[in-house]
Amino acid sequence: MTVGVLAVQGDVREHLRVLERLGVAARPVRRPEELAGLAGIVLPGGESTAMWRLMRATGLAGALRNAILAGLLAFGTCAGMILLARRVTNWPETFLGVLDIAVERNVIGRQVDSFEAQVAANGLGELPAVFLRAPGVREIGPGVRALGRLGDQPVLVEQGSLLAASFHPELTGDTRVHEMFIQMCRKGESWQHA
Amino acid sequence: MDNGTYRVKTGFAEMFKGGVIMDVTTADQARIAEEAGAVAVMALERVPADIRAQGGVARMADPVRIKEIQAAVSIPVMAKARIGHLAEARILEALGVDFIDESEVLTPADPFHHIDKWQFKVPFVCGCRDLGEAARRIAEGAAMIRTKGEAGTGNVIEAVRHMRLLNDQIRRLAGMSGAELVSYGKEIGAPVEVLELIQEQGRLPVVNFAAGGIATPADAALMRMLGCDGVFVGSGIFKSADPERRAKAIVVACTHYDDPQLLAEVSAGLGEAMPGIPIEAIPTEELMQHR
């Protein structure tokens, strides 16, 4: 099983490192043809507008959207969550638009207010989390489950084959959220091969 | 909830990787940069080429200018403080600037020290010419490093020099014993604790961008080939004939630096690049990198 990491821009190396630590074959994805043969893909943190322009420049934007709609599992962190969201409340573009949530880009404001905190997650307990100019989840569709919250705000959500966090589990050394995604990928794979 | 921790500062810098940070002097330029796919903008009064041409004392930008640029874009906004100028840095932090560049492009304010960056919640990026300088800045709390290059020249040779030196020195650390590391630290003026970290990781412990003289998509690709995590483009974009196209091309080149076919496509028909300056034509005392 191979998991890809969208590698047009952002903290790609950190995600690759976590996946490798968990014994999963992982490789960067910059071009549409590199999507072939993946069990899942991680969309890392970075700048969503920059990532989107880079994805459009090579046709990766459309190819990735089609792959996800065809069942490719995806896990987005921070900017990755914004790319997956159905709607961005404070930005004129919709990006991949596959996850039924509405997000607001950068609810934190300026970087001096970015922070670390503990997040309460279903079945996982307390998770250390780093929030960097993070998106806020403003609406959740009926098929979406909130798996983790900070106060009463959803920060970790799941919808079938999609997982998204508004924080950066790849920066903390705690691999539980990635393990959850790998479980999803393994299930997806065994289902495909059944 | 903890803000301003080292992990929050260095983690934020990790998010810039693979990206291009562009110098802008107006809200319009900032919007062009954002639309082209910049990961952040550097808000300035004057780009380095103009600072070099006009001379005089170069200082922190007017807060009005910085606020206009902050209001114009959704991506992070950086700004420059003079080397050692604690008060300019505090003002920029109060303005909510997302990153401070303690920069040799401005006229230095303190002949003895750089800013003690551990005392701030806002992260800092600092320039370096070699490993000693990088290690000293990291010891002072810099969350990100960039090459100094020679700003405002449109000439990439100095950025290449600094990155080559840095790579060479990091490679030399690999085989060193503890005692050798102490001697080497003394030789290059680097704190041994930081050298130990670099030896362990085989790279700087923070993100390292290229800066100073990058003017073309090929320049950006070259710096990525040498191992830089991303690039700053100062005068190179808005001193060129077609800033919008050039900005987009440099963004693509920074990501696809190892794809010559695509580099050829984006490099075609960009119009005049900024006029460049040979380094030999600059009197030594006017080189910004020695600050």
Q: Mean pLDDT, 10 residues at a time, over chain A (194 residues)? A: 97 98 97 96 98 97 97 97 97 97 96 96 93 97 97 96 98 96 89 56
Annotated catalytic residue, options A15, A104, A168, A185: A168
pLDDT for B282 equals 92
Q: How far apart are the first and last CA of chain B?
A: 38
CA distance A147 to A135: 16
- pLDDT, tens digit (0-9, with 9 covering 90-100), for B220-273: 999 999 999 999 998 999 999 999 999 999 999 999 999 999 999 999 999 999
pLDDT for A66 equals 97
pLDDT for A189 equals 74
CA distance A72 to A66: 9
- pLDDT, tens digit (0-9, with 9 covering 90-100), for B133-159: 999 999 999 999 999 999 999 999 999
pLDDT for B246 equals 98
CA distance A2 to B45: 48
**Mutation site for B-interface testing, chosen from A43, A91, A114, A118 by largest number of B Cβ within 10 Å:** A114
- Inspect the interface and report whether the beta carbons of A50 and B75 lie closer than 8 Å: yes
pLDDT at residue B28 tops 70: yes
A46 within some domain: yes
Which token pair is A54? 């880079």
A65 within some domain: yes
- Identify whether the C-beta of residue B43 lies closer than 8 Å to the C-beta of residue B66: yes
What ranges make up the beta strands (E) of chain A?
2-6, 25-29, 40-43, 73-77, 85-88, 99-104, 115-121, 125-131, 136-140, 145-150, 153-159, 162-165
pLDDT for A193 equals 55
Please indicate whether residue A170 is annotated as part of the active site: yes
Q: Which residues in chain A are contacts of B4 at CB distance < 8 A?
A: 112
CATH number at residue A38: 3.40.50.880
- pLDDT, tens digit (0-9, with 9 covering 90-100), for A22-47: 999 999 999 999 999 999 999 999 99
A137 within some domain: yes
- Look up the domain containing A69 and give its range: 2-187
Tokens 């950006």 locate to: B220
Name the domain count of chain A: 1
The residue-averaged pLDDT of B19-32 equals 98
CA nearest neighbour of B122 among A106, A111, A116: A111
CA distance A40 to A191: 13
User: CB-CB: which of B15, B74, B252 is closest to A132?
Assistant: B15
pLDDT for B166 equals 98
Q: How confident is the model at residue B107 (pLDDT cuts 50, 70, 90)?
A: very high
Q: Distances in Å between the alpha carbon of B225 and those of A84, A161, B13?
A: 31, 36, 20
A128 within some domain: yes
Instruction: Give the number of A-B residue pairs with CB atoms closer than 8 Å.
Output: 113
- pLDDT, tens digit (0-9, with 9 covering 90-100), for B149-201: 999 999 999 999 999 999 999 999 999 999 999 999 999 999 999 999 999 99
- pLDDT, tens digit (0-9, with 9 covering 90-100), for B41-91: 999 999 999 998 898 999 999 999 999 999 999 999 999 999 999 999 999
Query: Whole-prediction pTM value?
Result: 0.97
Q: Which residues in chain B are contacts of A57 at CB distance < 8 A?
A: 252
CA distance A70 to A27: 20
pLDDT for A123 equals 84
- Inspect the interface and report whether the beta carbons of B11 and A132 lie closer than 8 Å: yes
CA distance A46 to A166: 12
A194 within some domain: no
DSSP H or E stretch at residue B80 = strand B77-82
A118 within some domain: yes
CA nearest neighbour of B223 among B143, B281, B167, B282: B167
Angle between helices B217-225 and B260-267 (to 10 degrees): 150
A193 within some domain: no
pLDDT for B146 equals 98
A70 within some domain: yes
